[in-house]
């Protein structure tokens, strides 16, 4: 009997469902329930940087007269499994399935069935 190993690999790819500019909600930790827009995805680490979420203070050195040294707060990356996608169409926490429509890969909200991108 042949076992289909290829299928498992594909599943892993499908888990990568969050993109830049998506609205997401944190579903774990101190900031559970908070929402923000995805500023950047770090695909290699499966992490995302979300506007206003997981802020860390960083010391910055003076680079010029107009940018004095001091402490700035910047969002630190968090793991993708700790966030859920918010559907832009129905506003609910959702998961997506991928479909190919007219040769384009699209994501479809499982809650309302609308195309998300």
Contacts to Zn ion by CB under 5 A: 87, 89-90, 109, 111-112
Residue 18 vs 109, nearer CB to Zn ion: 109
Question: Which of 97, 98, 99, 94 minimizes the C-alpha distance to 111?
Answer: 94
Residue 49 vs 86, nearer CB to Zn ion: 86
SS3 (DSSP) at 3: coil
CA distances from 25 to 30, 48, 51, 65, 106 (A): 12, 12, 11, 38, 21
Beta carbon of residue 17, minimum distance to Zn ion (angstroms, whole number): 13
Residue 20 vs 97, nearer CB to Zn ion: 97
Beta carbon of residue 27, minimum distance to Zn ion (angstroms, whole number): 17
């Amino acid at each position: 009997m042949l076992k289909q190993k290829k299928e498992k690999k594909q599943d892993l790819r499908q888990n990568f469902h969050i993109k830049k500019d998506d609205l997401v909600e944190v579903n774990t930790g101190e900031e559970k329930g908070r929402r923000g827009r995805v500023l950047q995805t770090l695909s290699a680490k499966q992490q995302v940087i979300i506007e206003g979420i997981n802020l860390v203070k960083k010391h910055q050195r003076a680079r010029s007269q107009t940018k004095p040294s001091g402490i700035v707060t910047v969002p630190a990356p968090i793991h993708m499994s700790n966030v859920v996608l918010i559907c832009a169409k129905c506003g609910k926490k959702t998961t997506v399935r991928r479909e190919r429509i007219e040769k384009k890969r699209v994501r479809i909200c499982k809650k309302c069935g609308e195309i998300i991108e």
